[in-house]
Amino acid sequence: MSSNAFPLDSIATTDQAPIPPAANEELADPPYIEPIDPMLATRPVAPEERISSVDVLRGISLMGILIMNVCDFGLGNTNYTYPLATVKPVFNGPHWKINTALWFARWIFAEGKMRALFSMLFGAGVILLTGRAEARGAGIRAADIYTRRNMWLMLFGMIHCFFIWHGDILFIYAAAALMLLFPFRNLKPKTLLWTGCIVLVVNTLLVNGGQTMGMVSVKKSVATAHAHEAAHKPLTEDDKSALENNQKLLDHWRLSKEKMYKDIADHKSWAKAFVADAPDAFQTETITTFPIVMGDWFGMMLLGMALYKLGFFSLKLSTRTYALCAVIGLGISWPIVALGAYHAWKGGFDQIQTYLWLQVPYDFGRIPGTIGNAALILLLLRASSHGLGLLRWLFARCANVGQMALSNYLLTSISMRAIFVWTPLHWYGYLDYYKLYYCVAAMWLVNLTFSTLWLRYFRFGPIEWCWRSLTYWKRQPMRL
């Protein structure tokens, strides 16, 4: 499943947010500010009230997640994680070295980590949005605005999923916000950390561990069936069932050429893609959302709520703390993921071996890697304020992308679908793996340029403006 988690503009807040005295102390209740007008308590955040470090993290994450999603856009969802059924071979053939190096780099530096940071920032956004409104005396109106925002986001997600790209995450984020997150906003950071970790561990055991053990069980049953065949014994119903289930696993793991070319033919226009992807879209918004994805993203959102309360995302901690988080987080993550990727690749991507080495320890690599990545970015952001003009210039543009995250998210989906599926270019299924990342670089350039130019004249991105106007049921000011 393509995931891309989307950090909402509700993450933006005022610089009046309470600053924790230290990373290990509890966050004090926000001060009560008597509003001049009750409507001011829940007014949309103004551009000058945004927290720049959060915007930078959001922008980098939004662009970084395309490193993963481009495989779905360009090669289909069966090749999203492991590109094993492609017209042009990835791990052999003339370009296997650069393809393999890029696949390793994707896993070590980005896989799961960008999506996790999205989820963490979304969780932080719950604290920012509701805390600001409650501090201004909004009372129950804070819950009203919060609910309406996420109901509109859910609708945006459904439109995006069915009519643009089936890898939507807006619906899932909105569902998590409406069903689960609001009651957790006032918990202590320590409680949020423990709860988030427990949710993620349980999710890993049930999903990744459960899938792996199921495959192991099927393989054992298949071995028994083959033994019966070798001994010229009649196959039992269990033997037949095991062989059938094993074939389904193999077909899903490595598409046959017939199915591969059918998938390409089914994605030669918007209409054909709509019909072909509708079942996946429906599954994304129903079956996948609640039992599988919700455990993954909900746990990350809880961690994000805790990290914001501790001052991590708002750059309130010491340089030494961020340095330690970067060194320890990446020092744990990179070896775990690199070793797993090596064994999966060395074993020819045998399904069980790949799951044992990459999927089972997935969260043990991506959680410290996510925190390490965020800490490294925040360290560089702090360093850029003391010179480093080029870095400061780049971070400013990344912040623009983060400020217009919803618009850029949808723009990316539309652009990628146009390039690969909807237009006569029709690169879907035929582009070399390494060339997918030319498309990623081009899209990043579009994101950075579009956001910077747009925000010179307007207060919000176009979709953010629409979303806010619908939430408050009032046309919001647009031009600066």
Name the most confidently modeled range: 129-133, 290-294, 381-385: 381-385
What is the Cα–Cα distance from 133 to 156, expressed in whole angstroms? 24
Per the model's pLDDT, the better-predicted residue between 384 and 28 turns out to be 384
What pLDDT sits at residue 143? 86
Which has more pLDDT, 294 or 120? Answer: 120
Q: How far apart are CA 290 and CA 450, in angstroms?
A: 35
Phi, psi angles (nearest 5°) of residue 479: -75, 150
Res 129: pLDDT? 84
pTM exceeds cut of 0.75: yes
For the ranges 59-73, 227-241, 263-277, the lowest mean pLDDT is seen at: 227-241
pLDDT value at position 262?
Answer: 93
Averaged pLDDT for residues 52-57: 94
What average pLDDT does the segment 303-316 reach? 95
As a whole-number percent, the residues of the chain with pLDDT over 90 amount to 59
pLDDT tens sequence across 426-465: 999 999 999 999 999 999 999 999 999 999 999 999 999 9
pLDDT at residue 100 tops 70? yes
Q: Give the 3-state secondary structure of the chain.
A: CCCCCCCCHHHCCCCCCCCCCCCCCCCCCCCCCCCCCHHHHHCCCCHHHCCHHHHHHHHHHHHHCHHHHHHHHHHCHHHCCCCCCCCCCCCCCCCHHHHHHHHHHHHHHHCCHHHHHHHHHHHHHHHHHHHHHHHCCCCHHHHHHHHHHHHHHHHHHHHHHHHCCCCCCHHHHHHHHHHHHHHHCCCCHHHHHHHHHHHHHHHHHHHHHHHHHHHHHHHHHHHHHHHHHHCCCCCCHHHHHHHHHHHHHHHHHCCCHHHHHHHHHCCCCHHHHHHHHHHHHHHHHCCCHHHHHHHHHHHHHHHHHHHHHCCCCCCCCCHHHHHHHHHHHHHHHHHHHHHHHHHHHHCCCCHHHHHHHHHCCHHHHHHHHHHHHHHHHHHHHHHHCCCCHHHHHHHHHHHHHHHCHHHHHHHHHHHHHHHHHHCCCCCCCCCCHHHHHHHHHHHHHHHHHHHHHHCCCECCCHHHHHHHHHHHCCCCCCEC
**pLDDT of amino acid 170:** 93
Does the pLDDT at position 32 exceed 80? no
pLDDT at residue number 440: 98
pLDDT score of 29: 47
